[in-house]
Amino acid sequence: MEIRILTQDAIKEVMPMKEAIEADKEALKMYSEGSANIPLRANLDVPEHEGQSLYMYGYAPKANALGVKIVSVYPKNIEKGLNSVPATMVNLDVETGQVSTLMDGTYLTRLRTGAIAGAATDVLARKDSKIFALFGTGGQAETQLEAVLNVRDIELVKVFDISRERAQAFVDKMTERFKGVFNARLVVAASSNEAIQDADIITSVTTARVATFDGTLVKPGCHINGVGSYTPEMAEINEYTVTHADRVYVDTRDGALKECGSLLQPIQKGIYHEDQVSGELGEVLLGKVDGRKNDQEVTLFITTGSAVLDLVCSQKIQEKAAEQNKGTIIEL
């Protein structure tokens, strides 16, 4: 049995962000039309080490995609100089069930998660959006920035993190990385309020259990991406934002309404109802649900992640890697 091994560098060589965004759009359309079999992920607590181990699996026949991503969340890994969200993607051959590819699931997670917020921004944000506020500078932040810059002509990015030092390091690194690629100017915001002032797009990508910004200060017409809340305890988007957004969209109802604290907490308090969710992003892409109606609406997109994104994106990566002879082949 031959297995292709794909590192982060190999994935980057074959899958640019623009293609990942389109792959995520296709994945969510498959999910929303019911053509993919995606069980809710299994989530195991590892309390002795303050970690969680998640297993995201499924089958998307339209994409010939079958597999499982093993991903863990260990916040204290940062103190050890390790990734806080290590992961491995295992692709299987749909005809034989044999493992066909192993790839860096950590980067795949960052890529497809950035891409899904990029897809939501592309579909829901005002076309003339110029100012982008980014909350969080962890491992997911880089692709979140890259995705938004790919779909809108952003002029100013305001970055906020609870550590100003981390925010400045991120701004310096991203300024250097995207020099000559995008025209956006990156700056560190001194406060959360300063970050969202005049922001056309806001992305929060943190594991915070409390709100990262004051929803009452969001300007009309803003689009918001809530990316980091994947458990009922996490609520980086405050209740005001959820209850006052003109339109609220999710990647999958099944995931967001079972796992996302930003939605579950106001629902449990009785100030919001799941029926108020406008729809899945895939339903908007399929034309089954309306997107933004005008430039004054505040739109909110919540993603908790879904195996369908990993499956479709990784399958496309595998196919392109095979075409371009990238990666390392091992025999088992």
Q: Look up residue 288 and give its two tokens.
A: 């089954």
3-state secondary structure 261-321: HHHHHHHHCCCCCHHHCCEEHHHHHCCCCCCCCCCCCCEEEECCCCHHHHHHHHHHHHHHH
Q: Is the confidence at residue 71, as pLDDT, over 90? A: no
**pLDDT of 7 strictly over 90:** yes
Q: Evaluate if residue 51 carries a pLDDT over 90.
A: yes
16 confidence band (pLDDT: 50, 70, 90) = very high
pLDDT value of residue 265:
96
State the pLDDT at residue 243: 97
pLDDT, the chain, mean: 96
**% of the chain at pLDDT higher than 90:** 89
Cα 89 from Cα 305, distance rounded (Å): 14
- Rounded to an integer, the average pLDDT of 40-54 is 91
Question: Is pLDDT of 230 > 90?
Answer: no
Tell whether the model's pLDDT for residue 252 goes beyond 90: yes
What integer pLDDT is reported at residue 46 of this predicted model? 96
For residue 229, pLDDT over 90 is answered with no
pLDDT digits (tens, 9 = 90+) for 135-170: 999 889 999 999 999 999 999 999 999 999 999 999
Amino acid 237: pLDDT: 96
pLDDT of residue 279: 97
The Cα–Cα gap between 183 and 198 comes to 19
Whole-structure pTM value: 0.93
Structural domains of the chain sorted by starting position, each given as residue range(s) with its CATH number in brackets = 2-108+308-331 (3.30.1780.10), 124-305 (3.40.50.720)
Can you give the pLDDT at residue 91? 98
Query: Strand order in 2-6's β-sheet?
Result: 42-46, 51-60, 65-73, 87-92, 99-104, 2-6, 328-331
For 161, phi and psi rounded to 5 degrees? -145, 155
β-partners of residue 102 are 5, 90
Query: Which has the closest alpha carbon to 4: 96, 101, 93?
Result: 101
Query: Which pLDDT belongs to residue 160?
Result: 98
Q: What is the CA radius of gyration of the chain?
A: 19
Which residues touch 52 (CB under 8 Å, ≥6 apart)? 43, 44, 45, 46, 72, 73, 74
Q: Does 58 have pLDDT greater than 90?
A: yes
Answer yes or no: is pLDDT of 231 > 90: no
pLDDT digits (tens, 9 = 90+) for 76-124: 898 899 888 789 999 999 999 999 999 999 999 999 999 999 999 999 9
pLDDT digits (tens, 9 = 90+) for 269-328: 999 999 999 999 999 999 999 999 999 999 999 999 899 999 999 999 999 999 999 999
The whole-number average pLDDT for the span 13-32 is 98
Q: What is the pLDDT of residues 289-301, one digit of tens each?
A: 999 999 999 999 9
What pLDDT score does 148 carry?
98
283 close to 32: Cβ distance less than 8 angstroms: yes
Task: Say what the pLDDT of residue 67 is.
Answer: 98
| Cβ 327 vs Cβ 6: under 8 Å | yes
pLDDT over threshold 90, residue 36: yes
Q: Tell me the C-alpha distance between 21 and 39, whole Å.
A: 23
Q: What is the mean pLDDT of residues 1-28?
A: 97
pLDDT on residue 84: 81
Cα 97 to its chain centre, rounded Å, is 28
Query: What integer is the mean pLDDT of 229-250?
Result: 94
